Structure 1
Amino acid sequence: MGTKRLGILGLTSIGAIALGAGALNGCGSDSGSSVGGGNFLDSGAGSGGSGSGGTGGSSSGGTFNVDGGDCECDGGVCIQGACCLADKACGAVCCGDSDVCSFQQCVTPGKTCVDSDDCGGGDYCEYSLGDPAEEPDAGAGGATCTGGVSLATGRCLPRPPQCSAGQDPGDPITCIENCEYHPPAAAFDPELKYHWDGGNVMMTPIVIELDDDNCDGKVDAKDIPEILFTTFEYTKPATGDNGKAIYSQNGTLHAISIVGGQVVEKWSYHPDTPFDDRLNPGTHLAGGDIDGQPGNEVIVCTQDGRTRALHADGTEFWVSTATGCFMPGIGDIDHDGSPEVLTGSAVLNGSDGSTKFAVAGASTGVFADITGDGFLEVVTPTSVYDHNGTQLVATGLTAGHMAMGDFDKDGNPEIVAVDSASHLVHVWHYDPAETGSFKILRQNIDMNGTFVNNCPAGSAGATRGGGPPTVADFDGDGTADVAIATGIGYTVLGGTKLLDTNVANDQTNIWLKETKDCSSAATGSSVFDFDGDGKAEVVYADEHTLRIYDGTNGTELWSTCNTSGTLTEYPLVADVDNDGHADLIVISNDYSGITCLGDGTTKVRGVRIFGDTAGKWVRTRRIWNQHTYHVTNVEEDGRIPLNELANWKQTRLNNFRQNIQPSGEFSAPDLVVDLRPKCDGAYGLIARVRNIGLASVPPGVLVGFYEGDPTAGGTKLGEGLTTKALAPAEAEDVTLELPSASMALTTGQTLAFVVLDDGNPPHAWVQCRTDNDTDSASGACGGVR
């Protein structure tokens, strides 16, 4: 076991609290208060010996001399010839009454905070300056706060500075070292982490925050997101086909979440309405804040073409008229702070579901500012409407699916239009200088190409082909490319090739792979750079198999059985359990005769979540809120941007249906711990666990307490867990009550030890350093380390 090298945030003292990593002399209390001196942050030397390393000084006595001046300070520090209380000493300066010492700087604590989001961009919430939380009144399964919660509070302090490249943090430390973890190059070997198998699913789920899981009074990225999807059941008895599963009728909407490593069902919604007004489980969902009130809403389609909006708890918000609904999306089209809902064939006001204007001849589309006028347009596979509903472009093409990206890097996006009926692809862009304000750049690329079509006669795959396309830089050359699945193959088209008139249609592909999706021939796919090497991997599921392809050349990196009758669904990538690593979410169904390849009998159904349990997959966002997800369309907490940024103009983006790593994708947590006795009330030990890394760590960090050095046969006294996610700079006290502690421990004859991540329990998060995960201290109240 290593010992701590870094001070806990370099805080010599906070009020009456010494937070140095080397020493916290004196006794702690339930509120975490203690008096310290002689730790390595103030370089003091107390009567107990050297302050460096945590063995010197006592809060109850000792004279400290920082500047060499001649003064006697009982329990204090001599600074520039004057006595300074130990908890006010800050290097060679004595802080004022209202200040605390943070990273060798006297600072005045800011406002009261519940978490770091309450503070300014450069501050964090220091909980030791506030009041502890009371136990929350948890909802069903511990999943939702239901009230009666007294939240922990703190005070805002400046975040510690990050050391520049090559800078020594010093002693006392003046900055925090860079904290990154680069996953080792390794074969793809994801494992099944979670499985909900309560029904058949044949649509693309969404991932979005709906409730306050951590009881901080907010619904934000610190909570665990929900996964929403619809299942299909049975036809109405009047059809005479009772008992047969139909994927377009009688659907139920489900919201699940991953809480404590388990799948928790939050709620389900099955409207008690006339049959034709029930949910259509073959259509898709959207989620986001559409009413301007706290919390996100969910958009779902009905069988008769209406759109329903639900509040975050699954209660009804509004129902539209029958305008048609298939692949809804959300955006603030006119930048008035009240988002709209694009159902495919209409734009609805998000506040009440009323129709803003119709979109003729379309069932899919996306909000985007392709004209550069500052407002969002409705862009369909073949047309454009402005924010008032005026049609700007009618290309005359035939197509049902689309994506967009800037393939020539001129700042203007190209539209990739897919016609499933003829398995053809077209590329066009908006150009006001051209007749009709558009220009067709390429037409009639045959997606089936040279594939051999083995789909049976009468199936969709026998004559059709082409689902929702995906845009990403597949080969890492800095230019966006396009991927499309058909009934018989998966094709990646080079973005540069698409716009090069010297390249023939049948030469525009980068690679091709045979697949089998005869049932719909129109599935989609998504993309993610799992290892952070700058090259996107493809995630695709056909009728039988879920696969991850190398985006560069199509090499199959991993596959597993996944049965589906297929429509236009696709697997997606998001962090659904808040462990700081990407997860792969895929749906399946067992209603048809489709089975796993090889055995002819096995089927799967429901929603499965795969991940790399060794932590090799990098970070990503905790949201995927609609089928036409493109990152800039939604904030991570579900808020819809007032002024949506053009995805194709953003560094590291220029993609469509691809999730990304947040900035600092290799940032990692770095936990340190400080141990002190608990002297108020029942005796015990208190371990303050603090994250001095650059990424959050999930709750549930195991803290082991020992009497004596555990590496030399010390006795384990017990253990505890952190209960909240620790963002960078944040801390939490873990207390072990010891009413029958030995005299050797309480008198300091035997040192107490604490070990973080004790026993190396399995988890996905990885620290950048582990040589600072232990601490030792005297267990004596008022004693000396």
Structure 2
Amino acid sequence: MRAQYFSIFLAIGIFASCSASDGGKTPAGGGSGGTEAGTGGTDAGTGGSILMDSGSDGPTSCGSTNDCPKGTLCKYQVCIPNLGTCSTNDDCPGDSYCDTDGICVPYGIPSSKTNDPTCEKSTPSPGVAPIVQCEWTGPAAGDPTAEYVDIYSAPMVADLNLDLDAKKIQPSIVVTTFKTGTTSHEGMLRVFDGRTCQEQLRIGGPDDPDIDGNRVGYAANWAIGDLDGDVGSSPNGHPELVGLHRVGDTTNANDPLQLVAFSIDTSGAQPKLVRKWLGHTCPGNQPVTFANNLANYGPGLWDLDDDGVPEILIDGMVYDANGCLLNAQPPPSSYLNLGLFDVVADVDLDGKPELVRYDGIYAWDTSAKAWQLESYFTQSGQKPGQVAVVDVGHYSAINGKPATDPFPEIVVVSAASTSFNPSSTGSIRVQTLSGDVVFGPIDLYHQTSVFGGHGGPPTASDFDGDGQVELAAAANEFYVVYDPDCTSTPRPGGQCKKPNSALPAGILWAQPSQDFSSSVTGSSVFDFDGDGTSEVVYGDECYVRVFDGPTGAVRFSAPASTGTGFELPVIADVDGDFATEIVAVRTTASSLSCPSPDPLFPASGPWVHKGGFSILRDPEDRWVSSRPIWNQHAYSITHVTDDARVVQSSKVLDNWQQPGMNNFRQNAQGELGKLALADLTVELDDLSEVCSGKTQTVDLSAKVCNRGTNPVQDGAEIIFYQLPPEGGAQTLLCKVETGTLLAPGDCTVVHCTGEVDGSKDVYVAADPEGTIADCHPGNNVGAGSGKLCPTVR
């Protein structure tokens, strides 16, 4: 009979089966945990928990240790290897846990024990600086696009399925980079790997044979979504990238813009971007141009007619998924010569989406293909500005509908005029669905000797933990959180605990910043520690900072030089590791002068001029998990799925009515738990050759499991090595990476070949460099062959 062996892993079909996640990817608003059913399960037939072969009747049972082979114990009526005593799970080797009696027991014994449900991330301590996970500062010397390293666009994040493997989550970062130090403002589109910051795709640069047809606006913001319905329905499906094409040959910096969509072609040896269409009239096929190359806005994707196919909106224009302009081209907004972002939501709760603007709420007439001003919007004369949709309080009402309906309000940040002039002072206000102003307008906070500036696109969230929403915006010299409760008429249940009582009414806190170049930068929001109060992430000309929600204290800061546009730091799971990262873009900005280090956070490190972008993460990955997507500038979670499908309009959840989602430009925590934490374990699998005592080439195998509460992405490193029985130097045999995602309770088998010295013990270790946030790093080394071989029969 062939030699049989114990494996310390969960049995498939003997004791318990590894759990599988639900079929399909996570729906909109969920976290980054969805995978195909069965992903990460052990290979068929590799089975066995730690039990010996006892014939066809299955594994060896026992009444006491006397019934078990030498070197084994009897636990839960099963013979197991003697893995030692313990106080915690970290004391136990490989795929085992510390039982209540202080004995290390393999997972799967008893069958209900498949993971450690107590695994949870610790809360990050205030003042802990993030580390740079990776960064891109430009292509290699000699690359024809080497000068295209500056970025004014927000970095969009989505899994583009470049690996053609729906079972893996491998997001990419999409940005426009432009030529440094010129007045021609020449841009190109680049796509980067969210794990490594390596460039994956490019188009529209000086090395593009069709550069005039593919050139993009120098500061164009992108929207990512599935226009043709192939995501999820085909293994070769990819979302499309929609942005702004620059018409002309760059001799005029004011060249007009045209909507453009790029698709991804993976039919060749390497994936590439291909122009899908340019915006045009239908019928007639005439190009539709608008604005000019200095604009800094971009399109958004929503389903307006409930057919499950997205429309593309920019400046009130509506295009279908084939690039046809559906409505009459409205006059351009010309706001600051930079543009206004469109925002769409079902604000009146009639089951149909509306275009939400500073000057009205507009319904889409699917027959006439035109916007119709809703009759309940009765006011006029409001200043133009960027908007956000959020439930600020019970202010909005619509005649004929119950007063208790949870209608949202509209937050508007308006410049003093539509002309670009940083030496002016804009304002912030909240208006109802009828257009009545219920908060403000309040001048953007500034010192009396300095202008407030234009103001950036607003964010909204519960920053102080009182259950009410506050508003935030950047400007010339301060980042400010505005709070209706800091007025003479606070909201029911609202609170105002100003860290500085001298601040004017309506302001919770204000922190110095520097953005005198444009004063229009965006910001984003996230609850990094899962405590229910949100933090603000904002990058000015010098640093990207995270501010404490209630007080504005700087939690951390990192250098990020930029001349500033509408860019904002994006918060997402950019590398598929089920942890949150921040993507911050930069420009070389040689004319800038910044203090060094950050006076608000001296641990920031020295300030430097540098282009490109960086990905920042907590050094111990203690930030709560997030989604692997941020698909457009006006992002509000529920309108897009994790795999970049735009949600059918009748199925879109109202963001402000979902628990924890009454916010705007804020990402959601992962669906598996805000503070979920993985526990990677590993143990030698097939011991038949390892235990022979022979010096020979061996196909080594190990079973890798996730016994925590958060998934583990593919690519976890596994090493096999040897140590002499009496101790001594380690000898590396071989190493391999896991090829699949491991959900909690999942296992997979890995193999590699090594030259085994029969006189030394063989060991296996998972994630030896400690790159994965792990609940019990002490169990990342499996029991050695010297301990396991006595169990082989």
TM over 0.5: yes
The alpha carbon displacement at 1:408 in A equals 1.4
**Distance in 2, Cα, partners of 1:418 & 1:391:** 21
The alpha carbon displacement at 1:612 in A equals 1.5
Q: Establish whether residue 192 from structure 1 lines up as the match of residue 144 from structure 2.
A: no
Q: Establish whether residue 616 from structure 1 lines up as the match of residue 622 from structure 2.
A: yes
Q: Establish whether residue 418 from structure 1 lines up as the match of residue 385 from structure 2.
A: no
Residue of structure 2 equivalent to 1:397: 382
Residues 553 and 783 (structure 1 numbering): CA distance in 2 closer, same or farther, change over 3 Å? closer
**Distance in 1, Cα, partners of 2:458 & 2:725:** 56
Q: Establish whether residue 762 from structure 1 lines up as the match of residue 759 from structure 2.
A: no
Give the length in aligned residue pairs.
632
Q: For residue 390 of structure 1, give the secondary structure of its aligned residue in structure 2.
A: strand
Residues 755 and 4 (structure 1 numbering): CA distance in 2 closer, same or farther, change over 3 Å? farther
Residues 740 and 531 (structure 1 numbering): CA distance in 2 closer, same or farther, change over 3 Å? closer
**Distance in 2, Cα, partners of 1:505 & 1:328:** 37
Kept in 2: contact 1:24–1:674 (CA 8 A): no
Provide the TM-score with structure 2 as the length reference.
0.71
Aligned partner of 2:277 among 287, 303, 318: 318
Q: List aligned pairs for 1:192-271, cutoff 5 A.
A: 192-198=132-138, 199-213=149-163, 215-216=164-165, 218=166, 222-233=168-179, 244-246=182-184, 249-259=185-195, 261=196, 263-270=198-205
Deviates more, 1:353-362 or 1:632-641: 353-362
The alpha carbon displacement at 1:763 in A equals 1.2
Kept in 2: contact 1:323–1:345 (CA 8 A): no
Q: Establish whether residue 471 from structure 1 lines up as the match of residue 460 from structure 2.
A: yes
Kept in 1: contact 2:544–2:559 (CA 8 A): yes
The alpha carbon displacement at 1:677 in A equals 3.0
One-letter amino acid matched to 2:456: G
Kept in 1: contact 2:9–2:703 (CA 8 A): no
**Distance in 2, Cα, partners of 1:755 & 1:272:** 49
Residues 56 and 11 (structure 1 numbering): CA distance in 2 closer, same or farther, change over 3 Å? closer
Residue of structure 2 equivalent to 1:660: 668
Aligned partner of 1:407 among 392, 406, 426: 392
Kept in 1: contact 2:386–2:412 (CA 8 A): yes
**Distance in 2, Cα, partners of 1:401 & 1:767:** 43
**Distance in 1, Cα, partners of 2:570 & 2:456:** 15
Residue of structure 2 equivalent to 1:180: 119
**Distance in 2, Cα, partners of 1:50 & 1:463:** 74
**Distance in 1, Cα, partners of 2:118 & 2:509:** 38
Residue of structure 2 equivalent to 1:22: 50
Q: For residue 683 of structure 1, give the secondary structure of its aligned residue in structure 2.
A: strand
The alpha carbon displacement at 1:188 in A equals 2.4
Residue of structure 1 equivalent to 2:643: 637
**Distance in 2, Cα, partners of 1:604 & 1:39:** 65
**Distance in 1, Cα, partners of 2:583 & 2:323:** 31
One-letter amino acid matched to 1:369: D
Q: List aligned pairs for 1:553-592, cutoff 5 A.
A: 553-592=551-590
Residue of structure 1 equivalent to 2:471: 482
The alpha carbon displacement at 1:712 in A equals 5.1
One-letter amino acid matched to 2:699: G
The alpha carbon displacement at 1:740 in A equals 5.2
One-letter amino acid matched to 1:302: H
Residues 427 and 255 (structure 1 numbering): CA distance in 2 closer, same or farther, change over 3 Å? same
Residues 586 and 452 (structure 1 numbering): CA distance in 2 closer, same or farther, change over 3 Å? farther
**Distance in 2, Cα, partners of 1:209 & 1:411:** 34
**Distance in 2, Cα, partners of 1:752 & 1:637:** 41
**Distance in 1, Cα, partners of 2:514 & 2:113:** 55
The alpha carbon displacement at 1:682 in A equals 6.1
Q: For residue 407 of structure 1, give the secondary structure of its aligned residue in structure 2.
A: coil
Kept in 1: contact 2:534–2:548 (CA 8 A): yes
One-letter amino acid matched to 1:332: D
**Distance in 2, Cα, partners of 1:706 & 1:601:** 43
Q: Deviations over 1:749-781 (max 9, x none)?
A: xx64433334xx131422357447523457999
Higher relative contact order (CA 8 A, sep 6+): 2
**Distance in 1, Cα, partners of 2:510 & 2:550:** 11
Kept in 2: contact 1:678–1:684 (CA 8 A): no
Q: Deviations over 1:493-542 (max 9, x none)?
A: 12545793799994111111222211111111111122222221111111
Q: List aligned pairs for 1:441-480, cutoff 5 A.
A: 441-449=438-446, 451-454=447-450, 462=451, 464-480=453-469
Root mean square deviation, CA, Å: 3.9
Deviates more, 1:637-646 or 1:607-616: 607-616
Residue of structure 1 equivalent to 2:550: 552
**Distance in 2, Cα, partners of 1:40 & 1:7:** 19
Kept in 2: contact 1:530–1:618 (CA 8 A): yes
Residue of structure 2 equivalent to 1:731: 747
Residue of structure 2 equivalent to 1:510: 508
**Distance in 2, Cα, partners of 1:711 & 1:190:** 41
Residues 231 and 345 (structure 1 numbering): CA distance in 2 closer, same or farther, change over 3 Å? same
**Distance in 2, Cα, partners of 1:269 & 1:755:** 45
Q: For residue 656 of structure 2, give the secondary structure of its aligned residue in structure 1.
A: helix
Q: Establish whether residue 335 from structure 1 lines up as the match of residue 306 from structure 2.
A: yes
Q: For residue 318 of structure 2, give the secondary structure of its aligned residue in structure 1.
A: strand
Kept in 2: contact 1:24–1:54 (CA 8 A): no
Kept in 2: contact 1:399–1:420 (CA 8 A): yes
Aligned partner of 1:428 among 421, 428, 431: 431
**Distance in 1, Cα, partners of 2:543 & 2:79:** 65
Kept in 2: contact 1:378–1:386 (CA 8 A): yes
Residues 355 and 277 (structure 1 numbering): CA distance in 2 closer, same or farther, change over 3 Å? farther
**Distance in 1, Cα, partners of 2:467 & 2:44:** 54
Q: Establish whether residue 292 from structure 1 lines up as the match of residue 229 from structure 2.
A: yes
**Distance in 2, Cα, partners of 1:368 & 1:41:** 65
Kept in 2: contact 1:288–1:298 (CA 8 A): yes
Kept in 2: contact 1:8–1:673 (CA 8 A): no
Residue of structure 2 equivalent to 1:676: 685
User: What percentage of residue pairs aligned between the two structures are identical?
Assistant: 28
Provide the TM-score with structure 1 as the length reference.
0.72
One-letter amino acid matched to 1:535: T
Residue of structure 1 equivalent to 2:216: 279
Kept in 2: contact 1:26–1:782 (CA 8 A): no
**Distance in 2, Cα, partners of 1:779 & 1:768:** 21
Residue of structure 2 equivalent to 1:37: 59
**Distance in 1, Cα, partners of 2:214 & 2:449:** 38
Residues 781 and 54 (structure 1 numbering): CA distance in 2 closer, same or farther, change over 3 Å? farther
Kept in 2: contact 1:538–1:548 (CA 8 A): yes
Residues 777 and 375 (structure 1 numbering): CA distance in 2 closer, same or farther, change over 3 Å? same
Residues 540 and 35 (structure 1 numbering): CA distance in 2 closer, same or farther, change over 3 Å? farther
Kept in 1: contact 2:134–2:614 (CA 8 A): yes
One-letter amino acid matched to 2:387: M
Kept in 1: contact 2:203–2:214 (CA 8 A): no
Aligned partner of 1:701 among 709, 716, 721: 716
Structure 1, gaps ≥5 residues long: 28-33, 59-167, 235-242, 431-436, 455-461, 746-750
One-letter amino acid matched to 2:59: G
Deviates more, 1:642-651 or 1:544-553: 544-553
**Distance in 2, Cα, partners of 1:54 & 1:677:** 24
Residues 676 and 499 (structure 1 numbering): CA distance in 2 closer, same or farther, change over 3 Å? same
Residues 194 and 780 (structure 1 numbering): CA distance in 2 closer, same or farther, change over 3 Å? closer
Residues 276 and 6 (structure 1 numbering): CA distance in 2 closer, same or farther, change over 3 Å? closer
